[in-house]
Structure 1
Amino acid sequence: MSLFPLSPMLKNMALYGTSIVLMKGVSLFMLPYIANHISQYELGRLELLATFAMILSVVLGFSLHEALYRFAGAEQDPYKKRKITAQIFTLTMIVGAVSLPIIWIISPFFNEFKPEYASTIELELLLMPLAFEGMIAVVLASLRMQDKAQLFFYLTTGRALLQAILTVIVLQQGYGVTAILLAGFISAVIQIIALVYIQMNENLKVENTSYVFSKDIAQLCLPYCFPLMLSGLIAFGLNGFERWVLAENTSFNDIALYAVALKFSLALTLLMQPFCMWWMPKRFDYLHAKGNKLTAQITESSLVLLCSLTILVSYLAPVLIDWLMPTTYQSAKHIAVTLIIVSAIKELNELINIGVLAKKKTNALLWINGVATIIGVALIVMLTPIYGVSGVLTSLIIAQLLRVIATFILSQRYHNLPYSMGKLVVIFLITTISIALSLSGYSTLLHLVIAAASTVTLIVFAFQLSLITFPKKEQTGKTL
């Protein structure tokens, strides 16, 4: 009998966490270096290009990885699970084959629309890998579902490290934004080739062919994924659109400040990833196989983790900005704390939407996201010309709060989970007070001491309130 029953899960979570930190956090780790090698104006321009890539990746990805979670994740037969994965992979390749020439053709027209934002070659380098965004997401999600954490680690870390190394090289040679985009393009293409090779070999195990197309699975996936894709597209209004409004009402320098704050707020999302990478593909299995109570308990544990990390990042981000960034970026510190709160609310929404997704009510999520985005966009458009960045931050918090409240109410209505609401309110209250204290002008040492004390206080209360639950060791050979 193992003395450490959680060690396999913890090992996978550690590998997932490291992978995501390097895969998604490369921009955060490279930010101080990039900020010291290109102008604030160019950094603002690079951020606008990133938002353009973000919205296109949502469209081209089509949320097919969510279909993989839903239809393959709930399937208990290993052969059927592998076959569904192969069929969804084929759909992503069809999307990629259609999208790639379209991107090549329309990039010059985008350049003519806003020539000061990007050249044609910059757009092509940025957007062409996105044709296979859905394929990347599906294959990586499949590896997670199979608990192939080590292979996942190699594939994602390899891309992140290669991109970082190439970026350092081109900046050392005095090149600018175009070269940075070229570094991202090369690393993305290499990862795409590796993932296609891996999944084709998996497909051969199903029907002795590299491509497994199914009209039936396509008919299942498209109605399920379309509302999710639209939800992601609509969500751009609260995560990307505001930078375009800032560009029209302020300057690229102000966008650079906002971008720096946003990158440091990304630390919260990255720190949540080890848990989310393990939990998100398995939560429906837990719900169906182990019941509402355990699913609710693990979700409560995830909320405690979210609150703890929110406190830590709220204290550490301003300190890191002060230490790592050029003096012209110091005003980004308070912006970062507010964006960390926005990130925490978004993570909260993803953790409590189980009921809606379990009942396949993705249209409901579309309506919720749509209404919240309309409100947020309206507020951004009205407040940003008057208050600048402060108007954007206020709008985002209001819209995200409305979104998470509506999602929770609807999710509980569709599939009621027995949350300990009174205990969770205590945890949220401690978190709110702790974040408020982080805005005070303490010395760095005292600031860090309060950060540690606040985090420990929250965790102690969570244990006392029995809000922390560890899942038991999974049996060998059992698919969750």
Structure 2
Amino acid sequence: MKLLSLSPALKNMALYGSSIVLMKGVSLFMLPYIANHISQHELGRLELLSTFAMILSVILGLSLHEALYRFAGAEQDPHQKRRITGEIFTLTMIVGAIALPIIWLFSPFISEWKPEYADTIELELLLMPLAFEGMVAVVLASFRMREKAKLFFYLTTGRALLQAALTVIVLYQGYGVTAILFAGFISAALQVVVLVYLQSKQNKKVRGTGYLFNKEMAALCIPYCLPLMASGLVAFGLNGFERWILAENTSFSDLALYAVALKFALALTLLMQPFCMWWMPKRFDYLQSRGEKITAKMTQSSLVLLCGLTVLVCYLAPVLIEWLMPESYQQAKNIAVALIIVSAIKELNELINLGALAEKQTKKLLWINTLATGLGMIAILVLTPIYGMSGVIISLILAQTMRVILTFILSQSAHPLPYSLGKLSVLLLITSVSIALSLSSFSVGIQLMMAALCTTSVVIFASQLQLITLPKNEQGEKCL
């Protein structure tokens, strides 16, 4: 109890981490239920609609929450901080008011263009809440800035759990994709109403009015946010675009297999999340206060964790697919392993970009991401019509690998860290062999034994190679 009472920062971190894991994890937990209640073709169509919503949310969100961090976060005066937050919030409401009728008017035309993807009502249910995506992001970001972790947790997980509950109900009653989208619409609309109410109360503390608009603030926000929005669109090229091309060149049933595999590959990201939430903001402090050697050792330890979890998930994902998914989805096992490898390479890139970020080489990182995404998209366009899903997976692995190599070269040239590259190469070789063995057709019992054996082997070899370093307690944490 004393630990909890003396550690509000740790409690907040736990709440933020739990909310993120729950938000991302609900879709994984719901997947077997949905797959057992709608056809494989319909699940593939639902996945394609989700990717459409993904890219539109990036555009309509305009990354205005990043402007909040930049302009309100630097303010020390609470009144001024509230004023800037209110002005950016009002800007998001204006964007939403403009976007909402546009979505309403253009949904019928989109439906006529691709009637096999969705009808008008499905597009409206899916896209209309996205008009206020920026508002949701800004208000939730303001909660984090004001350390309202409980409120953040309730409003984010509440929406996810409400959507899951409504989805269960409508599918149990025998409804399909339209009803699933309606469940998402209801949960999103309720969240928007609550957030508008809460933020309006905050706005009234400034100049006695609930709505604030400042042309100067808008002029600052838009140029600042547009490049960030462009970065989000670049990321879509390797995380969404491939599903469109897959749908055009294969079938919705194949896309459903890909979607199932992708959801189970998400388990790796979820398992890495607790460590990353601790290490990502901490690593710059390590570099400055503890030096390059300790920081490099901690980064190597994070790579050991990534390798161990990758091996574990590569063995467990096929087992879970066999246990939880209908017979028609069993082909997703090997696809899941391939996409876990893609996820691992993406996580690797986030762990080794420290040098570039420490020296503020963000523009060069953007160019690397753009180049890797562009070449990946070209490869997807060329290989998918020939090789189908295999072409997509090959393209993703090649693009993400090139991104990691270029990021590592940039980071080491900007701020060299003394990594033990020879030992890391041995670790990578052991990990690769373990993953290759997971593709064998073992029984479930042997697969589980291999999962324990191979994961343990990775840790033992890493320990023997002295790649594992445990963080020492900091002076400020000894009192906890």
- Aligned pairs (5 A) from 1:410-429: 410-414=410-414, 421=421, 424-429=424-429
AA matched with 2:438? S
**The one of 467, 472, 480 aligned to 2:469:** 467
Provide the rounded CA distance (Å) in 2 between the counterparts of 1:209 and 1:248. 51
Provide the rounded CA distance (Å) in 1 between the counterparts of 2:122 and 2:346. 31
AA matched with 1:123? L
- 1:24 maps to 24
Q: Give 3-state SS (helix, strand or coil) of 2:309's partner.
A: helix
- Aligned pairs (5 A) from 1:294-443: 299-354=299-354, 356=356, 361-414=361-414, 421=421, 424-443=424-443
Provide the rounded CA distance (Å) in 1 between the counterparts of 2:419 and 2:142. 30
Provide the rounded CA distance (Å) in 2 between the counterparts of 1:77 and 1:245. 48
Q: Is the 8 A contact 2:159 2:188 kept in 1?
A: yes
Q: Is the 8 A contact 1:292 1:418 kept in 2?
A: no
Provide the rounded CA distance (Å) in 2 between the counterparts of 1:207 and 1:287. 43
Q: Give 3-state SS (helix, strand or coil) of 1:453's partner.
A: helix
Q: Is the 8 A contact 2:75 2:81 kept in 1?
A: yes
Question: Offset of 1:57 from its aligned partner?
Answer: 1.1
> TM-score normalized by structure 2?
0.87
AA matched with 2:193? I
- 1:60 maps to 60
- 1:108 maps to 108
- Aligned pairs (5 A) from 1:68-467: 68-70=68-70, 75=74, 77=76, 79=78, 85-204=85-204, 209-213=209-213, 217-277=217-277, 282=281, 286=285, 290=289, 293=292, 299-354=299-354, 356=356, 361-414=361-414, 421=421, 424-460=424-460, 464-467=466-469
Q: Is the 8 A contact 2:86 2:211 kept in 1?
A: yes
Larger mean Cα displacement after TM superposition, 33-42 or 441-450: 441-450
**TM-superposition CA deviations, 1:404-450 (whole Å, max 9, x none):** 22233334444555655555445444433332222222222222222
TM-aligned CA distance change 1:360 to 1:126, over 3 Å: farther
Q: Is the 8 A contact 2:284 2:358 kept in 1?
A: no
Provide the rounded CA distance (Å) in 1 between the counterparts of 2:306 and 2:441. 25
**TM-superposition CA deviations, 1:103-140 (whole Å, max 9, x none):** 11211111111011101110011011111222222333
Question: Offset of 1:153 from its aligned partner?
Answer: 1.8
Question: Offset of 1:39 from its aligned partner?
Answer: 0.9
Larger mean Cα displacement after TM superposition, 451-460 or 199-208: 199-208
Structure showing greater radius of gyration is: 2
AA matched with 1:77? Q
TM-aligned CA distance change 1:465 to 1:289, over 3 Å: closer
Could you list the runs of 5+ residues in structure 1 that have no partner in the other structure? none
Provide the rounded CA distance (Å) in 2 between the counterparts of 1:34 and 1:149. 31
Question: Offset of 1:62 from its aligned partner?
Answer: 2.2
Provide the rounded CA distance (Å) in 2 between the counterparts of 1:415 and 1:202. 43
Could you list the runs of 5+ residues in structure 2 that have no partner in the other structure? none
TM-aligned CA distance change 1:128 to 1:305, over 3 Å: farther
Provide the rounded CA distance (Å) in 1 between the counterparts of 2:287 and 2:211. 31
TM-aligned CA distance change 1:283 to 1:78, over 3 Å: farther
TM-aligned CA distance change 1:100 to 1:196, over 3 Å: same
Q: Is the 8 A contact 2:297 2:467 kept in 1?
A: no
TM-aligned CA distance change 1:153 to 1:248, over 3 Å: same
Provide the rounded CA distance (Å) in 2 between the counterparts of 1:126 and 1:448. 39
Question: Offset of 1:58 from its aligned partner?
Answer: 1.4
Question: Offset of 1:299 from its aligned partner?
Answer: 4.8
> TM-score normalized by structure 1?
0.87
Q: Is the 8 A contact 2:300 2:468 kept in 1?
A: no
**TM-superposition CA deviations, 1:3-39 (whole Å, max 9, x none):** 7899655544443333223212222111111111111
Question: Offset of 1:207 from its aligned partner?
Answer: 5.8
Runs of 4+ in 1 over 6 A off after TM superposition: 1-7
Q: Is the 8 A contact 2:57 2:130 kept in 1?
A: yes
AA matched with 1:159? R
Q: Is the 8 A contact 1:346 1:400 kept in 2?
A: yes
Q: Give 3-state SS (helix, strand or coil) of 1:37's partner.
A: coil
Provide the rounded CA distance (Å) in 2 between the counterparts of 1:204 and 1:418. 53
AA matched with 2:467? L
Q: Is the 8 A contact 1:283 1:295 kept in 2?
A: no
Q: Is the 8 A contact 2:17 2:274 kept in 1?
A: yes
Q: Is the 8 A contact 2:301 2:467 kept in 1?
A: no
Percent identity over the alignment is 70
Provide the rounded CA distance (Å) in 2 between the counterparts of 1:225 and 1:309. 35
Provide the rounded CA distance (Å) in 2 between the counterparts of 1:210 and 1:427. 57
Q: Is the 8 A contact 2:42 2:177 kept in 1?
A: yes
Question: Offset of 1:459 from its aligned partner?
Answer: 4.0
TM-aligned CA distance change 1:461 to 1:438, over 3 Å: same
Q: CA RMSD in A?
A: 3.3
AA matched with 2:274? P
Q: Give 3-state SS (helix, strand or coil) of 1:25's partner.
A: helix
Question: Offset of 1:287 from its aligned partner?
Answer: 7.5
AA matched with 1:433? V
Question: Offset of 1:304 from its aligned partner?
Answer: 3.8
Q: Give 3-state SS (helix, strand or coil) of 1:314's partner.
A: helix
TM-aligned CA distance change 1:361 to 1:135, over 3 Å: farther
